[in-house]
Amino acid sequence: MRLHLVPARTGVTWVKLGIQTYAKQPLALTGLFFMFMALMSVATMVPLIGLPIAMAVLPAITLGLMAATLEATQGRFPMPLILLTGLRGGPVKLRAMLSLGAMYAAGFMCAMGLSYLVDGGGFANMYLGGRVPEKDMMESSAFMAAMWTFIGLHLPLSLLFWHAPALVYWHELTPLKAMFFSIVACLRNFWALTVFALVWMAIMVMMVLVLTFLSSLLGSPSLAGTLLFPGLMLVASMFFTSLYFTFRDSFESDTPTQEPNTP
């Protein structure tokens, strides 16, 4: 396995490939994404241990979505069990994936805990509860400080784990090695990932503007609000579909990528 450096414009290519692959299997990939969201939501409902459990399985489930993308690129219909690919690769890979998940959960909880100390939990409760913050809260310096504290800590955590699940599963690296190569690949391909993120942000903003315009054109102010959630979920499904390509093009291997462990 070798690191592959790509130009900044590859970020646009990754977005295009994600959208094109999604278009091949829209029902399956949308359904898998909603199953992913449902699993995370149900897990977080468990008092005390729910959030750590959800964060611990997040790397494995993200790997499952990447495996679904691989299936779609090969012309196959990804089945629901593919979400559990990361947990079905044998005892060695299972231990590695669970270790990876435990480290991610610990990092996430530390970042959230430090933000809690900054503003007394205002940002944490908003983030974890999925509620829109009130105007007074948004204007609070403590809230903003907590938000930037979390972002500043979570960004490097995300880079450590961006490619790590795929490296553990498809290249059989240990969790620590996978995290090291993940952040190195992200930093070396920084501009491609930056373009990738900016294009997806632009797509989301454009979708909101289109929905707002249609709502105004049809004289139905509530239409935009009604369509916003499914619209955002659609874009999020395509975004997660594109993640596989950021991994595939960042590494060169002497052996082909293994197929998902499907029944």
- Compute the distance between CA of residue 224 and CA of residue 215 in angstroms, rounded to an integer: 5
For residues 151 and 88, give the distance between their C-alpha atoms in angstroms, rounded to a whole number.
32
Mean pLDDT score of the chain: 89
**Residue 140 domain-assigned?**
yes
Check if the beta carbon of residue 155 is closer than 8 Å to that of residue 183: no
Kindly state whether residue 263 falls inside one of the protein's structural domains: no
Q: Per the domain annotation, does 82 fall within a domain?
A: yes
Cα 203 to Cα 15: distance, rounded to the nearest angstrom: 10
What does the pLDDT look like over 151-192, one tens digit per residue?
999 999 999 999 999 999 999 999 999 999 999 999 999 999
The reply to whether 236 falls in a domain is yes
Residue 11 lies in a domain: yes
Tell me phi and psi for residue 42, to 5 degrees. -65, -45
pLDDT of residue 130: 60
Residue 257: predicted pLDDT = 53
Distance CA 250, CA 182 (A): 9
- At residue 193, does pLDDT exceed 80? yes
Bigger pLDDT: 254 vs 108: 108
pLDDT above 70: residue 149: yes
260 domain-assigned: no
Does 212 have pLDDT greater than 70? yes
47 domain residue, yes or no: yes
Q: Which domain holds residue 54?
A: 2-252
pLDDT 10s digits, 39-89: 988 888 888 888 999 999 999 999 999 999 999 999 999 999 999 999 988
Residues 5-13, mean pLDDT to the nearest whole number: 96
Percent of the chain with pLDDT over 70: 92
What radius of gyration, in Å, describes the C-alpha atoms of the chain?
19
Q: Nearest-CA neighbor of 64 among 38, 89, 92, 100?
A: 89
CA distance 18 to 167: 20
Buried b (16+ CB within 10 A) or exposed e, 216-241: eeeeeeebbeebeeebeebbbbbbbb
Look at residue 194 in the predicted model and tell me its pLDDT: 97
Whether residue 67 lies inside any domain: the answer is: yes
Output the pTM of the full model.
0.88
> How many structural domains does the chain have?
1
